[in-house]
Amino acid sequence: MQCPCESGKTFKKCCEPFISGAKEAETAEQLMRSRYTAYTQVEMDYIERTHDPKTRDQTDMESNRKWAESTKWTGLEIVETQQGGVDDEVGTVAFKAKFETDEGIQDHEELSIFRKQDGKWYFVDASDPSKKPIVRSEPKVGRNDPCPCNSGKKYKKCCG
């Protein structure tokens, strides 16, 4: 059987050793792929085991299980990996996952953050990669700062 993570390897030679505990993921991408595969197999013990120990108790594993059970996983694409190598302590993996629920076909994009602790990789957090932070070209004007229009008034009483 081909591995659901779409690495081109068989499940037995790809993600199964990580999920079974026979091997530890050596890179952030291996952990990301194996976590995706664990969702496809509803292996929630692995999802919990590879979640950051600091926030693990804040995760609703029963909801995650129900979601995984009711989802038909149809594809994974790794978009970009930054750091997360064998010698790194942190890394990010941007990916796109396709799945089907009662609501229809879904596309999910995520930027996952991973951290190595005591030689093991853990999933730490995730964000939507399409939401870019706002970067100002000029410094922010405070309410009580002089107005940039040079009126001599405070910003809040002029252009603010």
CA distance 139 to 119: 42
Q: How many CB atoms lie within 10 A of CB 13?
A: 10
Q: Is the confidence at residue 134, as pLDDT, over 70?
A: no
Residue 105 pLDDT class (50, 70, 90 cuts): very high
Is this prediction's pTM over 0.85?
no
Q: What domains, with CATH codes, occur in the chain?
A: 16-129 (3.10.450.50)
Residue 14 pLDDT class (50, 70, 90 cuts): very high
